[in-house]
């Protein structure tokens, strides 16, 4: 469970500690969590400490430096394979991360093993629409958040018309399409993305290697790319407890599924309003952009979509202002842009509280420039 933080816990950086329950001698641990994590294990009183640029195992009397050429999630998996047993419910988290961020080093070896053991199926060339393996074309487009396809995602009729113009049946499941039809669909969707985007797009965003989880899928989806965004939406709207809960009790997976089903239509609505100019974005400080919108949104996901479409630069931090005196961003959003966080400024100025560990409250809109300067170092 998530341990309550005290002021003494906060020194150089904010750290979350998960003290997992040990069931059948296996460790439950969160993979790909976008913060620095201390994972405390009761067995042998060892601690796996993951900090930015520092990956090592701590024991009572010594620290052992570990180096790998892999992603953070791959590093964790390798470490756990060497030290502890890995429970099945770890794999969905791990696969959700690598399916978005790609594989390298140890990740590649792990994926090979998972494929041999039929934990996953690998498709080297497939359209990267969420749940392509079981949804019809427009159903898949409607839930796909990366690559986000404006208008087609939010308008079923417009999507159906687009697909019909390609002489394809919009009610056909994507995996039932022939190789020729998949190529046609991918080509035309890519042309569409290039046309509606304000930045250069890559065909690899839409067509390439994908995975499907088989034996150890989460109960709500077998598509790890979709799962990644389900987790991201939940983190953005419900804080870390919502992500930790499924590792403790699988029934909480369904809460995550419900959350994303509620949030996706809201995101469609907001993106349409931004594209039409009815909701405007305002640059408030260097690489910081404010969005005035009176309904709380999955901030990191919206920022991700706006970056994909070139509506805001990749390095821009998105801030939402629910009211003139209620603006906020998140630690995840600042880390996404690879900016440093002034922890002392966060705490002493009252922008951060232990009750909402991911949220940074920035206060009044007219004072945003001043508050951002104090938060970002």
Ordered structural domains, the chain, with CATH: 7-119+214-261 (no CATH), 122-208 (1.10.8), 280-375 (no CATH)
The lowest-confidence range among 106-110, 209-213, 307-311 is 106-110
CA 219 to CA 28: how far, in whole Å? 17
How many residues can be counted in the chain? 377
Residue 25: CB atoms within 10 Å: 9
Going 25 to 27 to 28 to 31, the CA torsion angle's sign is: negative
d(CA 313, CA 306): 8
Residue 26 has pLDDT above 60, yes or no: no
Integer-rounded Cα radius of gyration of the chain: 21
pLDDT digit string, tens, across residues 175-205? 899 989 999 999 999 999 999 999 999 999 9
Q: Could you read off the pLDDT of 230-272 as tens digits, one per residue?
A: 988 988 888 777 777 776 677 888 999 999 999 999 999 999 9
Residue at token pair 């404006």: 150
Q: 324: burial class by Cβ within 10 Å (0-12, 13-18, 19+)? A: exposed
Q: What is the pLDDT of residues 1-24, one digit of tens each?
A: 333 333 333 333 333 344 433 333
- Rounded-to-integer distance, Cα 49 and Cα 343, Å: 19
- Is the model's pLDDT at 72 over the cut of 60? no
User: Which comes out higher in pLDDT, residue 76 or 113?
Assistant: 113
Burial of 269 (0-12, 13-18, 19+ CB in 10 A): middle
Across 151-162, average pLDDT: 94
Site of tokens 């499924």: 246
User: What DSSP string runs through 138-151?
Assistant: HHHHHH--TT--TT
For residue 311, which of 192, 150, 162 has the smallest C-alpha distance?
Answer: 150
> Distance from CA of residue 209 to its chain's centroid?
18
Check residue 114 and give its pLDDT: 80
- pLDDT, tens digit, 9 for 90 and up, residues 318-334: 999 999 999 999 887 88
Please tell me the number of Cα atoms within 13 Å of 316 on its side-chain side.
25
Residue 221 pLDDT exceeds 80: yes
% of the chain beyond a pLDDT of 90? 45
Q: Is the pLDDT of residue 55 over 60?
A: no
DSSP string, 155-166: -HHHHHHHHHHT
* Phi, psi torsion values for 356, nearest 5 degrees: -125, 80
Average pLDDT, the chain: 78
Asked if the model's pLDDT at residue 143 lies above 80, the reply is: yes
pLDDT for res 108: 78
- Between 81 and 156, the more confident residue is 156
* pTM as predicted: 0.81
Q: Nearest to residue 98, comparing CAs of 67, 76, 80, 81?
A: 76
Half-sphere exposure of 83 (CA within 13 A, CB side): 22
Write the pLDDT tens digit of every residue in 333-370: 887 887 878 777 787 888 887 777 788 999 999 999 99
From 59-63, 98-102, 255-259, 326-330, the region with the lowest mean pLDDT:
59-63
Measured CA angle at 320 (ends 376, 195), to 5 deg: 100
**In terms of pLDDT, which residue wins out, 122 or 31?**
122
Give 109 or 280, the one with higher predicted confidence: 280
Give pLDDT, residue 17: 42
The residues, any chain, with a CB within 8 Å of residue 231's CB and separated by 6 or more, are 32, 93, 96, 243, 256
Helices and strands (H and E) in the chain: how many: 13, 14
Cβ(308)–Cβ(249) below 8 Å: no
């Amino acid at each position: 469970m998530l341990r309550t933080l005290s002021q003494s816990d906060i020194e150089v950086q904010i750290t979350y500690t998960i003290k997992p329950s040990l069931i059948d001698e296996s460790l439950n641990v969160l993979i790909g969590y976008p913060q620095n994590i201390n994972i405390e294990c009761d067995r042998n009183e060892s601690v796996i400490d993951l900090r930015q640029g520092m990956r090592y195992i701590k024991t009572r009397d010594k620290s052992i430096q570990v180096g790998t050429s892999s992603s953070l999630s791959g590093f964790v998996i390798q470490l756990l394979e060497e030290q502890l047993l890995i429970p099945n419910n770890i794999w969905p988290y791990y696969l959700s991360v690598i399916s978005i961020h790609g594989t390298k080093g140890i990740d590649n070896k792990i994926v090979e093993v998972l494929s041999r053991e039929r934990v996953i199926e690998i498709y080297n060339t497939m359209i990267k629409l969420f749940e392509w393996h079981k949804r019809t074309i427009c159903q898949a487009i409607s839930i796909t958040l990366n690559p986000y396809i404006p208008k087609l995602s939010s308008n079923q009729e417009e999507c159906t018309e687009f697909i019909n113009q390609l002489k394809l049946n919009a009610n056909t499941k994507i995996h039932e399409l022939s190789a020729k039809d998949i190529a046609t669909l991918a080509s035309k969707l890519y042309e569409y993305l290039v046309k509606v985007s304000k930045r250069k797009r890559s065909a690899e965003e839409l067509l390439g290697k994908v995975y499907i989880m088989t034996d150890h899928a989460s109960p709500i989806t077998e598509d790890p790319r979709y799962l990644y965004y389900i987790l991201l939406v939940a983190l953005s709207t419900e804080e870390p407890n919502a992500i930790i809960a499924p590792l403790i009790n699988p029934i909480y997976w369904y809460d995550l599924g419900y959350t994303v089903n509620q949030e996706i239509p809201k995101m469609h609505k907001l993106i349409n309003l931004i594209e039409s100019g009815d909701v405007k974005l305002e640059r408030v400080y260097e690489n910081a952009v404010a969005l005035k919108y009176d309904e709380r949104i999955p901030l990191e996901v919206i920022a991700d979509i706006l970056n994909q479409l070139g509506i805001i630069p990749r390095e821009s931090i998105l801030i939402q202002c629910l009211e003139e005196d209620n603006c906020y961003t998140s630690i995840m959003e600042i880390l996404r842009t690879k900016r440093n966080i002034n922890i002392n400024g966060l705490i002493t100025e009252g922008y951060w509280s232990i009750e909402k560990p991911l949220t940074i409250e920035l206060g009044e809109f007219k004072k945003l420039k001043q508050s951002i300067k104090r938060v970002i170092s």
